[in-house]
């Protein structure tokens, strides 16, 4: 039984060797020619599948034939007599040699896409029109002050709120390294310009890397408020180093809004909101540099607003707890104005006069 097994194995090996040698003799021999793989069939042709013959005919070099076939999308093979082939379906023994393009030929590698630029050291929201980053990181003293070149109660109060929002991490007294930035100068050309649609909200920021005063320059206090919000995004606490800093210093920014009307709508006719909730919304508008609170205050579903001319109107409020006095509206408007936000109340008339 062992002898039979050995003989059987010998027969299998000999058969395999015969198949391999026959295949090689017939040309199953991949050759890499000029960067492409071609199956070489010595003594074979696909005579009825001619595409065209090159002018060089029998004297063509393999280089000329591979280049011509590679450049012709209809060409799948060529023979040594200079004929390009559109197919090899009738491949048969002949007096010439046949080269068939390998379906798995390696193609030229595409040019790799350029590496994306490194992320900026600071992410701003919204992205300013122009930002120039330096290569350093400037530390900031937690006692940072904002110095106005022209007095403005609204702007000073805004700067004080920004200062409070920035420095939320408790640090030891006098912990700022030497050379930290201690002051930001806020220079406004005209602090008397009223808040209105289209008011100039442009600003520039210069934040040096040597500890000297940073500077916000704006034409109105509302542009300065936008600049202060940007400063609040630039100053971050570095938990690893234990300091406040501005990455990418020296930092230079020039910015202005793309749209004059940037806001959200609240609908207190259908969904009554407390004043405290509305104030939080206004604070969020300022953080996102939005400047409009569109207040859809009444509609046919309810009338929560006080009216001196028609005192019974707010009887149509959802409940007696879900109402707004005229003083409430004035307080919301003042709160918003101090943060650079315009309140635009909506009274749907004459379409909603049926409620009256």
Residues 73 and 139 in one domain: no
* pLDDT in the model for residue 13: 46
Same domain membership, residue 200 and residue 91: no
Is there a contact between 293 and 340 (Cβ–Cβ < 8 Å)? no
Q: Are residues 84 and 163 in the same domain?
A: no
pLDDT in tens, the chain (356 residues): 444 444 554 454 444 444 444 444 444 444 555 555 677 888 888 888 899 999 988 888 888 888 888 888 888 888 989 999 988 888 888 888 888 877 554 444 567 778 887 888 888 999 999 999 999 999 999 999 999 999 999 999 999 999 999 999 988 887 889 999 999 999 999 999 999 999 999 999 999 999 999 999 999 999 999 999 999 999 999 999 999 999 999 999 999 999 999 999 999 989 999 999 999 999 999 999 999 999 999 888 888 998 898 898 888 889 889 999 999 999 999 999 999 999 999 887 655 555 55
- CATH code: domain of residue 97: 3.50.4
What's the CATH number where 163 sits? Answer: 3.30.379.10
Instruction: For residues 80 and 35, state if they share a domain.
Output: yes
Classify residue 170: in a domain, yes or no: yes
Which own/partner pairs from 203-206 qualify as long-range (CB within 8 Å, at least 24 positions apart)? Answer: 203/227, 203/230, 203/253, 203/254, 203/255, 203/256, 204/252, 204/253, 204/254, 204/255, 205/230, 205/231, 205/234, 205/251, 205/252, 205/253, 206/250, 206/251, 206/252
Q: Cβ(249)–Cβ(209) under 8 Å? A: yes
Strand partners, 40: 29, 99
CA distance readout (Å), 87 to 30, 99, 195:
18, 11, 78
Q: Are residues 251 and 143 in the same domain?
A: yes
Do 244 and 174 sit in the same domain of this protein?
yes
Q: What is the pLDDT of residue 104?
A: 53
Which residues form the domain of 329?
Answer: 263-346
Residue at 199 is within a domain: yes
Same domain, 40 and 152: no
Do both 282 and 246 map to the same domain? no
Question: Do both 313 and 283 map to the same domain?
Answer: yes
Predicted local confidence at residue 23, as pLDDT: 41
How far is it, in rounded angstroms, from Cα 173 to Cα 167?
A: 13
pLDDT of residue 59: 87
CATH code: domain of residue 299: 3.30.750
State the CB neighbour count (10 A cutoff) for residue 334. 11
- Please report the pLDDT score of residue 6 as a whole number: 47
Assigned domain for 204 exists: yes
Task: Look up residue 159 and give its two tokens.
Answer: 């700067």
For residue 356, tell me if it sits in a domain: no
Residues 6+ apart with CB under 8 A from 258: none
The total domain count for the chain is 3
């Amino acid at each position: 039984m062992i002898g039979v097994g050995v003989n059987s194995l010998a027969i299998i090996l000999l058969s395999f060797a015969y198949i391999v040698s026959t295949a090689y003799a017939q040309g199953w021999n991949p050759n890499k020619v000029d960067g492409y793989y071609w199956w070489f069939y010595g003594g074979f042709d696909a005579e009825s599948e001619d595409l065209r013959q090159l002018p060089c005919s029998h004297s063509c070099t393999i280089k000329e034939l591979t280049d011509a076939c590679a450049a012709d999308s209809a060409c799948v093979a060529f023979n040594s007599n200079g004929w390009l082939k559109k197919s090899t379906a009738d491949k048969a023994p002949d007096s010439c040699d046949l080269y068939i393009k390998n379906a798995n030929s390696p193609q030229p590698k595409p040019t790799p896409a350029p590496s994306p630029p490194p992320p900026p050291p600071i992410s701003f929201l919204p992205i300013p029109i122009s930002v120039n980053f330096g290569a350093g990181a400037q530390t900031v003293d937690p006692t940072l002050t904002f110095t106005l070149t022209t007095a403005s109660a609204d702007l000073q109060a805004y700067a004080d709120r920004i200062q409070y929002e920035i420095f939320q991490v408790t640090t030891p007294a006098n912990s700022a390294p030497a050379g930290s930035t201690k002051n930001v100068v806020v220079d406004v050309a005209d602090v008397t310009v009223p808040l209105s649609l289209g008011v100039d909200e442009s600003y520039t920021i210069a934040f040096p890397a040597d500890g000297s005063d940073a500077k916000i320059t704006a034409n109105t206090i509302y542009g300065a408020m936008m600049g202060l919000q940007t400063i609040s995004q630039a100053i971050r606490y570095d938990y690893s180093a234990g300091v406040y800093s501005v990455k990418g210093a020296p930092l230079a920014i020039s910015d202005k809004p793309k749209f004059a009307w940037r806001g959200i709508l609240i609908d207190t006719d259908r969904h009554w909101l407390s004043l405290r909730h509305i104030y939080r919304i206004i604070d969020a508008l300022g953080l996102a540099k939005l400047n409009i609170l569109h207040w859809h205050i009444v509609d046919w579903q309810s009338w929560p607003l006080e009216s001196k001319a028609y005192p019974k109107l707010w009887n149509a409020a959802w409940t007696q707890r879900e109402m707004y006095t005229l003083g409430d509206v004035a307080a919301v408007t003042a709160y918003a104005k101090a943060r650079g936000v315009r309140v635009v109340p909506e009274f749907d008339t004459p379409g909603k006069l049926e409620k009256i």
